[in-house]
Amino acid sequence: DQQVKQNSPSLSVQEGRISILNCDYTNSMFDYFLWYKKYPAEGPTFLISISSIKDKNEDGRFTVFLNKSAKHLSLHIVPSQPGDSAVYFCAASEASARQLTFGSGTQLTVLP
């Protein structure tokens, strides 16, 4: 049973435009959410996180939004750059657990 779902396997965006990656979760005990970026042959790189007490967190070009009632989070990248082309994973954890549950990933391609 997939507790964290990324329903779009791929997304293509023009350079300079906004990229919006979506993630849904089913476990209401999740209280901490993260986004990771992964290039081929490398490990995932942490991008940004958000605690369930917030609904938005920004870091430069990256903003994560959390809608707890809908059990939905999204990552906005503005403006998108070709170097952002990678697989993006969302992940979640419960306060009492010491592990991350990952979504299946979305391949973002930013076209020049």
Partner 1 sequence: KAGVTQTPRYLIKTRGQQVTLSCSPISGHRSVSWYQQTPGQGLQFLFEYFSETQRNKGNFPGRFSGRQFSNSRSEMNVSTLELGDSALYLCASSFGAGRSVSPLHFGNGTRLTVT
The residues binding partner 1 (CB under 8 A) are 32, 34, 36, 41-46, 49, 89, 91, 93-105
Task: Provide the minimum distance between the beta carbon of 30 and partner 1 in the complex, in angstroms, as a whole number.
Answer: 11
Pick the closer one to partner 1 by CB: 13 or 34. 34
Task: Provide the minimum distance between the beta carbon of 22 and partner 1 in the complex, in angstroms, as a whole number.
Answer: 16
Task: Provide the minimum distance between the beta carbon of 17 and partner 1 in the complex, in angstroms, as a whole number.
Answer: 28
For residues 105 and 88, the answer to whether their CB atoms sit within 8 Å is: yes
Task: Provide the minimum distance between the beta carbon of 102 and partner 1 in the complex, in angstroms, as a whole number.
Answer: 4
CA distance linking residue 68 with residue 72, whole number of Å: 6
Q: What does 11-53 look like in DSSP terms, one character per residue? A: EEEETTS-EEEEEEE--TTEEEEEEEEE-TTS--EEEEEEETT
Pick the closer one to partner 1 by CB: 74 or 104. 104
Is the four-CA dihedral 4, 33, 87, 78 of positive or negative sign? positive
Pick the closer one to partner 1 by CB: 69 or 98. 98
